[in-house]
Amino acid sequence: MSTTPAFAAVSHVQLRVRDLEASEDWYTRVLGFARFVAGESGGRGYVAMRHRPSRFTLVLSEADPEGPTPPFRPGIDHLALAIPREDVPAWVDHLAACGVHLDGPHDVPEGASLLLADPDGMQVELLAPPAPGVPSA
């Protein structure tokens, strides 16, 4: 039996996007990310963004316009970000003010789920833990 070495944390998540500028604007305006570096790799642009309060890093990179469409390409299913339970109403108000279509909040075994989509239709879930005293599944 082998022991898997530990890793310290998640370094980043990288998403391929059709319109780098529109996606950067959305992740900045809606979720509070801020660019810290941008460049080009393999002939395609990218933007690295950080959400300062959580120290989470997201990299957006231009998709190959000749590549397969997302439903037919293996990849990430959705991005889930943890939020405090008490912030659910503030998130609902913020998303409405940003003009973002919101599905939820829904009560799920993990707590409360807010579902939205980025400019490419990538599902983003904001997930709050259950209220105190509510058992999780």
Q: Which of 56, 45, 3, 55 is nearest to 22 (CA)?
A: 45
pLDDT over 60 at 127, yes or no: yes
pTM for this predicted structure? 0.77
116: which residues sit within 8 A by CB, 6+ positions away? 30, 95, 100, 101, 102, 103, 123, 124, 125, 126
- At residue 67, the pLDDT reads 63
Q: What is the mean pLDDT of the chain?
A: 84
- Region 99-110: mean pLDDT is 87
- Region 107-125: mean pLDDT is 88
State pLDDT tens for residues 35-76.
Answer: 999 988 777 889 999 999 999 999 998 877 666 555 445 567
Return the amino acid letter for 72. Answer: F
- Region 92-101: mean pLDDT is 93
DSSP 8-state secondary structure symbol assigned to residue 71:
G
End-to-end Cα distance, the chain: 30
2: which residues sit within 8 A by CB, 6+ positions away? none
- Name the phi and psi angles at 80, rounded to 5: -115, 130
CA distance 34 to 51: 6
- At residue 134, the pLDDT reads 55
